[in-house]
Amino acid sequence: MEKELVVEIIELSNLGAGIAKQDGMVIFIENTCPGDVVKIEIIKQTKNYAIGKLLEVITPSKYRVIPMCPMQKVCGACQIQFIDYNYQLKLKKKIVEDYVGVNRSKSKIDVNVMDTIPSPQIKEFRHKIQYPISETQNSKRLIAGYYKPKSHEIVNIKYCPIQPKICDKIIEYIREIASKYNISGYNEKKHLGLLRHVVIRVSNYTGENLVTLVINDTKISKNIKEFANDIFNNFNEVVGVCVNFNNKKTNLILTDKTESICGVDYIEEKLCDITFRIGPNTFFQVNPESAENIFKYVKEYIKNNFNKPTIFDAYAGIATFGIVMSDIAQKVISVEENKESINLAKDVLKINNINNVELYAMDTAKYLEETTEKFDITILDPPRKGCTEEALDKTLKVTKSKIIYVSCNPQTLIRDLEYLISKGAKVSFIQPFDMFCHSYHVECVTIIDVE
């Protein structure tokens, strides 16, 4: 294949790269849109595919727009921000359809994929940020931002349009005062430096912020305590500053050891008229308004098809699904292995005077192994890796009617659906939601009949 080519982008890959074909060879080119005619340089070629680097957009696609962020090309967070939003929704539906059609088995899953439900907000929707921290080589000034695509090189972000403006102000203040307290940035290669990450949780309901400083240490020094108090005292919007201890060589951002330095160790969020508490380690959707769309959708489906069902809420986090469904359920059992999340869920039950939700701080697979109960509905909301075959087998045994599978990863979703189908279940439909605007990620709700 020639080193430089002019090609037309015909579709988008499941990882957000444009796809072109030349002499039967598939070429992946990042930062391109279906309909673009582009000049590219081939930078890698294998027997099955090639990777091209964009040199020039000769004829732009009718769906290409000017990205709202000037850092879009170098920051790895918003891979498709340069594509018209309504077309993004169509592309996300097609990504799910492609996973449905190109699955691991020889037979295809016969299931209808619905149109993607848009996010109510496409700016300032991201209410959890996790910035890796480093420092410049000479001046030792802190660097905070997101990684460049396919690297661990940090892009120093001063302004991010997908997160609330207060996050930019907090991060900039942290950069400015770090040297005053002798706070060094983390060097990943050498495993040196104190501040590894800054995690900010923002409440869409109250506007309050919880800041967590992730440090490469096992104890809180006087400097880090004064640093935390300075952040807390400078922002009325910050209701608490915590320190998370992570002194191991790992890609894990937060460990299970967190200490509150000042203020409170949670923020309150309101979804579906229920007040939730979110801590530093709590799993909670980053886009609250889109999450509320999902909860309302699931609730409406259950309400229209069941009368006071029993519900099993698996991989529950702070039991958001279980709590939101509680008023239309006879009983809900929510299971989550993170004890902090379960403790926060207990507070939510008290605050909202909910009495028909039982909480268990344990692994979902272990609970399934031990329980003798049967449920009308099981809601599965596993992490990106999906469910084990053992967990799926046990879910089928304890579920009398429907499984509602909520997934942030179409690849593992389709894998798990294939397995459930092989065991006799039937998939009714898949409903995509846009939770992560301007990225290739897509959230899906799948209705599964086990009768």
Same domain, 179 and 243: yes
Question: Which of 271, 297, 317 is the C-terminal boundary of a domain?
Answer: 271
The reply to whether 58 and 161 lie within a common domain is no
Domain count, the chain: 3
- pTM to 2 decimals? 0.93
Average pLDDT value for residue range 26-48: 97
Same domain for 233 and 298, yes or no, is no
What pLDDT score was predicted for residue 283?
85
Q: Are residues 349 and 249 in the same domain?
A: no
What confidence tens digit (pLDDT) does each residue in 365-374 have?
999 999 999 9
Helix (H, G, I), strand (E, B) or coil at 413: helix
**Residues 206 and 331 both lie in one domain:** no
pLDDT 10s digits, 225-262: 999 999 999 999 999 999 999 999 999 999 999 999 99
Q: Confirm whether 188 is domain-assigned.
A: yes
Secondary structure, 3-state, 132-189: EEEECCCCCCEEEEEECCCCCCEEECCCCCCCCHHHHHHHHHHHHHHHHHCCCECECC
Per-residue pLDDT, averaged over 190-204, amounts to: 97
Segment 106-110 long-range contacts (CB within 8 Å, at least 24 positions apart): 109/414, 109/417, 109/418, 109/421, 109/427
- Residue 97, SS3? helix
| CATH code (residue 371) | 3.40.50.150
CATH of the domain at 15: 2.40.50.140
Average pLDDT rounded to a whole number, residues 100-119 = 79
The model's confidence at residue 340, banded by pLDDT at 50, 70 and 90, is confident
85 inside domain: no
445 with 297, same domain: the answer is yes
> Is the domain of 116 the same as that of 193?
no
Percent of the chain with pLDDT over 90: 91
Confidence bin at 72 (pLDDT 50/70/90): very high
Cβ-contact 21, 27 below 8 angstroms: yes
**Claim to verify: residue 196 and residue 134 sit in the same structural domain:** yes
d(CA 375, CA 395): 10
Please check whether residue 77 lies inside any domain of the structure: no
Exactly one of 69, 167, 242, 408 is catalytic; which is it? Answer: 408
Among positive and negative, which fits the CA dihedral 361, 362, 365, 370? negative
> How far is 200 from 196, CA to CA, in rounded Å?
14
Average pLDDT, the chain: 95
Q: What is the DSSP letter of 315?
A: S
Q: Of 215, 238, 271, which one is at a domain's C-terminal end? A: 271
Compare 340 and 102 and report the one with higher pLDDT: 340
On whether residue 87 sits in a domain, the answer given is no
Report d(CA 52, CA 1) in Å as an integer: 11
Residue 32 has pLDDT above 60, yes or no: yes
CATH number at residue 184: 2.40.50.1070
Token pair in block for residue 308: 């006071």
On whether the CB atoms of residues 230 and 241 are closer than 8 A, the answer is no
10 Å CB burial of residue 114 (0-12, 13-18, 19+) is middle
Residue 103 clears pLDDT 60, i.e. is over it: no
Judgement on whether residues 219 and 145 belong to the same structural domain of the protein? yes
Q: Is residue 207 domain-shared with residue 224, that is, in the same domain?
A: yes
DSSP-H helix ranges across 219-287: 222-234
Query: Would 168 be classed as within a structural domain?
Result: yes
In terms of domains, do 267 and 354 share one?
Answer: no
% of the chain with per-residue pLDDT over 70: 98
Residue 420 has pLDDT above 50, yes or no: yes
Say if 15 falls within a structural domain. Answer: yes
Residues 6+ apart with CB under 8 A from 301: 404, 447
262 a catalytic residue: no
390-428 in b/e form (b: 16+ CB < 10 A) is ebbebbbebbebbbbbbbbbbebbbbbbbbbbeeebebe
Average pLDDT over residues 385-394: 95
| Residue 266 belongs to domain spanning | 128-271
pLDDT over 60 at 106, yes or no: no
Query: Do residue 56 and residue 163 come from a single domain?
Result: no
Q: Residue 365 CB: number of other CB atoms within 10 A?
A: 19
What pLDDT does residue 108 have? 62
Residue 104 has pLDDT above 50, yes or no: no
Grade residue 105 by pLDDT with cuts at 50, 70 and 90. low
Q: Is residue 8 part of a domain?
A: yes
Query: How big is the chain, counted in residues?
Result: 451
Domain boundary among 208, 242, 271: 271
Domain-embedded: residue 337: yes
Spatial contact of 209 and 202, defined as CB atoms under 8 Å apart: yes
> Tens digits of per-residue pLDDT, 143-188?
999 998 888 899 999 999 999 999 999 999 999 999 999 999 999 9
